[in-house]
Amino acid sequence: MRYKLIILLMVAIWVILINRLYQISIKSNYYYERLAKENVEQSSKIKPTRGEILDRNGKLLASNKIGFSLAIKPHMKVESKEFEDVLALIKNSFNNIDSQLLKKVYKKKNSPYNHKFIQVIDFIPYDDMIRVYPILSLNKDITVEATTKRYYPYGKYLAHVIGYIGKANQKDIEKDEIVKIVGKVGRVGLERYYNKVLQGIPGERVVKVNAYNKELDLIKYIPPKGNRDIQLSIDADLQKFIYDTLVDENRSAVVIVMKTSGEILAAVSTPSYDPNLFVDGISSKEWKKIRNNLEHPFTNKLVHALYPPGSTIKMGDALVISKVAGDYVLKPEYCRGYMRIGNSKHKFRCWSHWGHGSVDLRKAIRESCDVFFYNKALYIGIDKLSHGLNEIGLGVRTGVDLPREYKGVVPTKEWKKRRYKQPWYKGETVIAAIGQGYTNITVMQLARYTAFLATGNMVTPHFATVINGKSYEGEVKKVKFDPTIFNIVRNGMYDVCNNRRGTAYRAMHNLPIVVAGKTGTAQVTSIPQDVKRRAHESELAYFHRSHAWFTSYAPFNNPKYVVTVLVEHGGHGGSTSGPIAAKIYRWLYQKGYFGEMIMPRLLKEIY
């Protein structure tokens, strides 16, 4: 037994000795060999040029300004005359240079372990640099390198679509190694959604250096893969026209113009902001100005704001009811200006105090009768109504290529129980049937839903049409409904714009193309039961006024385009949003979007 222990002990000692010998002679050799190689070879990543964003006609929406960055030699003492001379040279070469700030930046980045020049100025415009370039480039303590800076030529007009880039933080770097090299990352909008495409792929440069860190030879060069551009379906001129129209009318609004295939021609959210302010970091003064604006210019209302859809939901109601209850949706209802549920004394009022009399489906859409849809929705219940509306795009994300799109709410019994721990009441079904109560959707959802009403197809709205040289088309899905009911619904939308009793007739009937649409007046405050006469919208305080909707498609017989307009606290959809949509259709017609004249009507001036 004693001999066995001695043998085991000797074996253990030999194992330890052999392992140590391996560590010293072999593994350490790899380490020191690599260390020696690093002292001889230096590798640096080459930053790619960020891809540009263009509109459908090739106009630049996000471009790169050419300029220069400036760096100072490392290991200099910040209090030395040598360093002070370098700072003085830089300060005298350019206007508005804060030498104390440069000193802070240099001091923070300077380290005994850093042998690379320290960048103290990120961007100097080409015109400013070119006159002093010969002097600076000959100074051994300074390096000048070509660089670019993101620029948004259309500024506020496309801020909510294009977005902007900003300086990368540690969280960004942890998510994507390339961000550490390029130093910038898309913060919002398409810049964020397509960041991985736009930022490109870095290259690499490996050089041989001597003991003084001087380059001796180029060993390897891999060029970066940059300039990965994206072309959009956006028409920048249309975008600008709509924005200026809304500003001229002092409207806080959201407008989407879309092909029925899903290509977005314009998407305007007002008020807006200048994205160029964020490229180098916004000042606290400018940030407070944007943040404190009660109309929320920084909010992308295309996908990040939720609104009750009001009467624009009624066509969807009709289709869902027909799918659940068949021809019941064709049964006329009698509207006397209100309805009651059971023995309750509570009146669920129609917008018309006098009522609409006997109402069929087409008339209910044309004149936007609430009572008709109250009764029909009660017949099938909220759950079936809600699930059917989800199927046609309400209360679900559209899939549009913008980040963090909101889902919205089309309520069910289970949703209310989970959200509020309360049961569902029949009266809430009545309110939901006219797009009020808990129902809240995005404007993007309503535009997509309108494209469905025009064609029967559920499309995916999208801005990008060409991504890094490859064409992109959104998904298209056919949704089946009773063609007879669909035809009546569309005829009702035709009447809204072309029948004298239609709620948008005044704004839409005299256009060079035939438009079908629907108005909506979405209340933001409830009306007490004891109020006999509704106050006119103009009599209400601004934030108590209803949101004004108008959504439409054209031409009626061959739908190509959707125009959806929401004016916040604008009052009535027909009188507020309708005229804006009419101006857009005239612009589209004049610019040739509809081809030859479809109707022999005079084209009114659009300016």
CA–CA separation, 452 vs 461, rounded Å?
11
Q: Is the peptide bond before 202 cis (omega within 30 degrees of 0)?
A: no
CA–CA separation, 331 vs 341, rounded Å?
19
CA–CA separation, 570 vs 295, rounded Å?
13
DSSP notation for 587-601: HHHHTTTT-S-SS--
C-beta of residue 386 within 8 angstroms of C-beta of residue 370: no
CB atoms within 10 A of CB 585: 23
Q: Is the peptide bond before 271 cis (omega within 30 degrees of 0)?
A: yes
DSSP notation for 486-546: HHHHHHHHHHHHHSTTSTTHHHHSSSSS--EEEEEEE-SS---TT--SPPPGGGS-GGGSP
- The alpha-helical segments, DSSP class H, found in 331-466 are 361-366, 370-380, 382-391, 413-420, 426-432, 443-455
C-beta of residue 562 within 8 angstroms of C-beta of residue 579: no
236-248 and 578-590 are packed helices; what angle lies between their axes, rounded to 10 degrees? Answer: 150
Q: Which of 272, 311, 552, 577 is catalytic?
A: 311
For strands 53-54 and 60-72, give the pairing.
antiparallel
CB atoms within 10 A of CB 468: 16
368: annotated active-site residue = no
Structure tokens at 263: 């290509």
The terminus-to-terminus CA distance of the chain in angstroms comes to 108
**Torsions phi, psi for 454 (to 5 deg):** -75, -35
- Residue holding tokens 């993101």? 150
Cα angle: 506, vertex 511, 515; to 5 degrees = 85
Residue 53's DSSP bridge partners are 62, 230
Active site amino acids: 311
